[in-house]
Amino acid sequence: MDKKLLIVDDEAHIRMLIEQTLEDLEDEGVELLFAENGEQALEIIQEEKPNLVFLDVMMPKMNGMEVCQKVKKELNLNEVYIILLTAKGQEVDRQKGLEMGANKYMTKPFDPDEMLEIAEEILKD
């Protein structure tokens, strides 16, 4: 299984938490990539075309919504599955995120088991 998963968050400890949550996937041949802001994330998505992106919404330089919109609406990379991570579970954000092309929405603090389950589900194809 030659898959790539990108973890995007401006907070290092959250990137580390997600990495620890998903590191078992590396044994299955999934390469974990990391970005600490939206601009970096966009570059990596264009170069690496990851299968799955866990994308934080609130970030400097370019937020998760903007990244999502660029990837889905401008670059038309519809095969990139984007899960927005946000601390705010507000319905309006969720709606906006889905309009920007996000495939799914998770609220922090997220459940590691659920996150791993979703990642496995998406990457198994």
Q: Would you state the pLDDT for residue 44?
A: 98
Q: Kindly tell me if the per-residue pLDDT of 116 is higher than 60.
A: yes
Q: Would you state the pLDDT for residue 2?
A: 84
Q: Would you state the pLDDT for residue 97?
A: 87
Domains and CATH numbers, the chain: 3-123 (3.40.50.2300)
Q: Which residues contact 76 (CB under 8 A, 6 or more apart)?
A: none
**54-112 pLDDT per residue, tens:** 999 999 889 999 999 999 999 999 999 999 998 866 778 788 888 999 999 998 888 99
Q: Mean pLDDT for the chain?
A: 93
Tell me the pLDDT band of 1, cut-offs 50, 70 and 90: low
Q: What is the pTM of this model?
A: 0.94
